[in-house]
Chain A
Amino acid sequence: MASSIAPVTPPANDETPAVTPADTPLSRDLVALTKPRIISLLLVTTAAPMYAAGSPSLWTVLLVMVGGYLMAGGANAVNMYIDRDIDDVMARTRLRPIPSGRMTPTQVLAFGVACATFATWMLAHFVNVLTAGLALAGFYFYVFIYTRILKRTSPQNIVIGGAAGAFPPLVGWAAATGTLDVTALCLFLIVFYWTPPHFWALALLKQVDYGRAKVPMAPLVWGERETMWQMVWYTVILLVLTVLPVLYGAFGLLYLASAVVLGGLLMWGVLKVLRAAQQGQPWTAPAWWVYKYSLLYLALLFVAMGVDRALSR
């Protein structure tokens, strides 16, 4: 299951809290390598589907959370190993353990692989093989498809790469039921279509950094205005995907109300960015708002799923 959690990290990768002093102890660096702030959202999108899919024991939830954290943390560490050259160039990542010289690349790689290996064993042994397989798939997708291939070659890097971050709901679902169904696929797509508006809001704000690192983020390739329009279209699909499961009875009215209100706010924020740009006004404040609110949006949406289903049983 862990891998599933790790995937969500693609976008988050650029958001790592890397500001640590030079005399940081090793334990703190190891925690920083896992990007704990980012993983917290992945854990929400893993745990909530467990309660939406069934009635898992507390023990199972705990195992999936630990395994998920280790898998995602391992993926984030390997990501820092692969991206060590551009981390040194970007202001936001310059203080990470490798570019700051506090850890060697080999140490970081070994730590990441060890975390992922242990997580795979743990999930397969204590939860089920499908959960472990999905988590590991997320790990590989994040490390090889997103970080190694897409990130430096395509403006759609975080679109397809976002699939890595969409594995956690599958992991949670598989852990609770031992299988996957159409609602699990819907949760995967929700995270998938949520990723572009979330991450492009940040990319719009960090264009100088990405340009310096030669990472072809959408605003640098398509331009700001086109990227904003793309955020709108991805949000439209996202909102439709969030309400559709209600039609066939997967979720109830509590979830529907949450999805409509939360989604409406997200769309309002995305349109505000576009409108500000079209009117020649500063759009950085609304872009920051979208970036931050979209994190809250996804967490609350998934919590609403779990609560809705738990109350209906």
Chain B
Amino acid sequence: MNSPIDSLLSPTISTALFWLAVAICGVAQLYIMRAVFRTLPAAPTNSAVPAPRRWAEIVQVLLPIAGLVAFFYGAWRALHSV
């Protein structure tokens, strides 16, 4: 039941699934970024809270992407070392 699935998949299918995962995460991350950039110039919905700082918001939305890229790079190497 808990056998490694990598031994059951051909390298071609594994590679295809890997790139599918990258594509899905890329699209989702784009929508996340879009929301942040779209709301940057606007005032908060609730005027009681402080407005976010533009540069800080941009940095914060880019940082997770760096983490994802690092992981995908590591996963790709691990996938091809199996």
Contacts and interface: CB of A to CB of B under 8 A. Distances in A.
Interface of B: 1-7, 9, 14, 17-18, 21, 24-25, 28-29, 31-32, 35-36, 39, 44-46, 48-53, 56-57, 60-61, 63-64, 67-68, 70-71, 74-75, 77-79, 82
Interface of A: 150, 152-156, 159-160, 181-183, 185-186, 188-189, 192-193, 207, 210-212, 214-217, 219-223, 226, 229-230, 233-234, 236-237, 240-241, 243-256, 308, 311-312
B52 A240 contact: no
25 contacts: A152-B50, A156-B60, A182-B71, A182-B74, A185-B67, A185-B71, A216-B44, A216-B49, A217-B49, A221-B51, A222-B35, A226-B39, A230-B32, A236-B24, A237-B29, A241-B25, A245-B75, A246-B4, A246-B6, A247-B14, A247-B79, A248-B6, A248-B75, A251-B4, A311-B2
A189 B70 CA distance: 11
A310 B21 CA distance: 27
Contact of B46 (A181, A188, A221, A226): A221
Given A159-B64, A216-B49, A247 B5 contact: yes
B74 A153 contact: no
A251 B57 CA distance: 35
**Main SS of chain B's interface residues?**
helix
A216 B68 CA distance: 26
Given A247-B6, A253-B2, A221 B28 contact: no
